[in-house]
Amino acid sequence: MLAVHLPVFQVLLPLLAAPVSMLLPGSRVSWVFSTLVSWGCFALSVLLLQQVLQEGSISYAIGGWAAPWGIEYRVDTINAFVLLIVSGISSLVLTGAQASIEREVAKNRIDLLYTCWLLALAGLLGIAITGDAFNVFVFLEISALSSYALIALGSGRRALTASFRYLVVGTIGATFIVIGIGLIYMATGTLNMADMGARLPAVAESRTVIAAFAFLIVGIALKMALFPLHFWLPDAYSYAPSPVAAFLAGTATKVAVYLLLRFSFTIFGGDFAFGAMALERVLMPLALLGIFIASLVAIFQMDVKRLLAYSSIAQIGYMVLGISLVSVTGLTAGILHLFNHALIKSALFMVMACVFYRMGATRLDDFAGLGRRMPWTMAAFVAGGLSLIGIPLTVGFVSKWYLVVAVLERGWWPLAVFILFTSLLAVVYVWRVVEVAYLRPAAEGAGRCEAPLSILLPTWVLIMANFYFGIDSSLTVGVASRAAAALLGIGL
Partner 1 sequence: MASLGLYNYWLVIALMMIGFYIVITSPNLVKKIIGLNIFQASVFVLYITMGKIIGGSAPILSDQIAVYSNPLPHVLILTAIVVGVATTAVGLSLVVRIYAAYGTMEEDEIEKIEAQEEVPT
Instruction: Give the interface with partner 1 as residue ranges (CB under 8 A).
Output: 134, 137-138, 141, 145, 148-149, 152, 157-158, 160-161, 163-164, 167-168, 171-172, 174-175, 178-179, 182, 185-186, 191, 302
Contact by Cβ (8 Å): 19, 115: yes
Q: What is the DSSP letter of 272?
A: I
Output 52 or 181, the one with its CB closest to partner 1. Answer: 181
Pairwise CA distance, residues 271 & 260, whole Å: 15
Helix (H) / strand (E) element for 61: namely: strand 58-61
Output 144 or 404, the one with its CB closest to partner 1. Answer: 144
Rounded to a whole number of angstroms, the minimum distance from the CB of residue 160 to partner 1 is 5
Rounded to a whole number of angstroms, the minimum distance from the CB of residue 312 to partner 1 is 21
Among residues 346, 303, 328, the alpha carbon closest in space to that of 86 is found at 346
Rounded to a whole number of angstroms, the minimum distance from the CB of residue 70 to partner 1 is 12
Judged on CB neighbours under 10 Å (0-12, 13-18, 19+), 37 is buried
Helix (H) / strand (E) element for 74: namely: strand 72-75
Rounded to a whole number of angstroms, the minimum distance from the CB of residue 199 to partner 1 is 15
Output 69 or 421, the one with its CB closest to partner 1. Answer: 69
Q: Output the CA–CA distances (angstroms, integers) from residue 323 to 203, 282, 328, 329, 487, in the order listed.
A: 25, 12, 9, 9, 11
Rounded to a whole number of angstroms, the minimum distance from the CB of residue 167 to partner 1 is 5
Output 210 or 461, the one with its CB closest to partner 1. Answer: 210
User: Which amino acid, 170?
Assistant: G
Q: Output the CA–CA distances (angstroms, integers) from residue 61 to 71, 129, 131, 393, 461, in the order listed.
A: 6, 12, 10, 42, 37
Output 79 or 135, the one with its CB closest to partner 1. Answer: 135
Output 174 or 425, the one with its CB closest to partner 1. Answer: 174
Rounded to a whole number of angstroms, the minimum distance from the CB of residue 139 to partner 1 is 11
Output 164 or 438, the one with its CB closest to partner 1. Answer: 164
* Bond prior to 228 in cis (omega within 30° of 0): yes
Rounded to a whole number of angstroms, the minimum distance from the CB of residue 120 to partner 1 is 13
Which residues are bridge partners to 62 per DSSP?
none
